[in-house]
Amino acid sequence: MNGHAAQDAKLEQIIRTILKIGVAISSAFLALGLGWSLAAPGSAVAAPLMTVGLLVLMATPISRVAASVVEYTAERDWLFVLLTSIVLLEIVAGVIAALVFHRRL
């Protein structure tokens, strides 16, 4: 395996790990929240658990893009650093816009 293929395999392993961990944590929180809401229907604990699960699920792809930026920087692959950074900035801008303008729409 040449150097470039080894770097690609390393990045794929990092991304795979991030996605697996993100989905597992999200699923755990969502399952706990759902179970809690079924066990105690009026409880105030279920909604925050499910909210955390959804937030982790939404943050997982963002973490994947951020990890790609870091790995491409380590590889000194400047074109991909630039392109992936643009994607990350667009995602962050979308999140900020949603938080700022959500009440105005």
Q: Is 2 left (phi over 0), alpha (psi -120 to 50) or beta?
A: beta
Q: What is the pLDDT of residue 104?
A: 60
Distances in Å between the alpha carbon of 91 and those of 50, 79, 88, 97, 98?
23, 19, 5, 10, 11
Q: What is the mean pLDDT of the chain?
A: 91
In the chain, pLDDT over 90 holds for what percent of residues?
76
Residue whose tokens read 């699920």: 57
Q: What is the pLDDT of residue 8?
A: 82
Write down the pTM of the prediction: 0.80
* Alpha-carbon span 47 to 51, nearest angstrom: 6
Q: Give the tens place of pLDDT for each residue, 52-64.
A: 999 999 999 999 9
Q: Give the tens place of pLDDT for each residue, 59-92.
A: 999 999 999 999 999 999 999 999 999 999 999 9
Of 56, 37, 57, 59, nearest in space to 46 by CA: 37
Confidence check: pLDDT of 42 > 60 = yes
* Alpha-carbon span 14 to 68, nearest angstrom: 9
